[in-house]
Amino acid sequence: MENVQEFIVTAIEKIKAQIGGTALIALSGGVDSSVCAELAHRAIGDRLYPLFIDTGFMRKGEPEQVQASFSHMNLQMIDAGDRFFDAVKGIEDPELKRKAIGETFIRVFEEEARKINADYLIQGTIYPDVLESEKGIKSHHNVGGMPEKMEFKGVVEPLYYLYKDDVREVGRALSLPIALSERMPFPGPGLSVRACGEATREKVIAVRAANAIVEEEVMETLKPWQALAAVIGKGTGQKNGRRVYGWIIAVRIVNSDNAITAEPLDVPYPLLRKIQERITTEIPDAVRVVYDVTPKPPGTIEFE
């Protein structure tokens, strides 16, 4: 991106020209959709209907944070957790899971769009999502995971050619709260792709708590590109002198060049032990903690 101010002016002009009627945008709490919503709000004002769909796969405190950050817009909060858990029920395969979530997203959008008669859908798709979906590495929920049948007049993607760092720059230039513009990336399908295999409620509860612990322990001190925890299986352990067959939690902390490649951080061992201690103490069914030392490639940043 050559010039951020120029990008903003052009993006707002384009949105104005593209969207004659109303538009729906789903906020996820991440930087991409937040920047998109701010651009769109400046372009079409109250013709923008921002929507927050609580999929049940959100991080700890996320719905509340989003509500607080977008109080200057007419934000609708939709609790769709039951539908999303139903959609992924019995699905073990990560790609099928992403597709099921993508489809549920669109259906919920469409239902809301029908209620408010929105013509367009605005999405915060960025260039790495497009590249990875094209190469068949992963179906990002907002690209390859999109069902073919759409009921909108069109989809508008103002950040299509931007990389993450550009999006943050735009966010800063738009004076978004730092907590939003500098927030680490979080996948659209949320914690479902960190609850490996079938994303059951109990697995998601454990992984939500583990992600909160990892974020609390490393975001301020190590300032990595991304830090996360995933439930990667079950294993045997013992708690209070009794055998427990519980969650194996993987911790992944990486620095990255625009999410295309990534390097695991050389985390001080005492900090790793502290994370382990908190996870196995605070999460009743967590029995093991492992640290992922795999770069991308051959790994990806998320586990699924």
Which residues contact ligand XMP by CB under 6 A?
A: 129, 132, 138, 140-141, 185, 187-189, 226, 259, 296, 300-302
Q: Closest CB to ligand XMP among 268 and 297?
A: 297
**Distance in Å, CB of 29 to ligand XMP, minimum:** 11
Q: Closest CB to ligand XMP among 27 and 287?
A: 27
**Distance in Å, CB of 231 to ligand XMP, minimum:** 16
Q: Closest CB to ligand XMP among 65 and 300?
A: 300
Q: Closest CB to ligand XMP among 194 and 203?
A: 194
3-state secondary structure the chain: CCCHHHHHHHHHHHHHHHCCCCEEEEECCCHHHHHHHHHHHHHHHHHEEEEEEECCCCCCCHHHHHHHHCCCCCCEEEECHHHHHHHHCCCCCHHHHHHHHHHHHHHHHHHHHHHHCCCEEECCCCHHHHHHHHCCCCCCCCCCCCCCCCCCCEEECCCCCCCHHHHHHHHHHCCCCHHHHCCCCCCCCHHHHHECCCCCHHHHHHHHHHHHHHHHHHHHHHCCCEEEEEEEEEEEEEECCEEEEEEEEEEEEEEEECCCEEEECCCCHHHHHHHHHHHHHHCCCEEEEEECCCCECCCCCCCC
**Distance in Å, CB of 260 to ligand XMP, minimum:** 8
Measured CA distances, 39 to 9, 93, 128, 168, 259 (Å): 9, 36, 20, 13, 24
**Distance in Å, CB of 5 to ligand XMP, minimum:** 26
Q: Closest CB to ligand XMP among 50 and 102?
A: 102
Q: Closest CB to ligand XMP among 185 and 264?
A: 185
**Distance in Å, CB of 147 to ligand XMP, minimum:** 15
**Distance in Å, CB of 273 to ligand XMP, minimum:** 26
**Distance in Å, CB of 32 to ligand XMP, minimum:** 7
Query: Which residue's entry shows tokens 């590249």?
Result: 131
Q: Closest CB to ligand XMP among 56 and 185?
A: 185
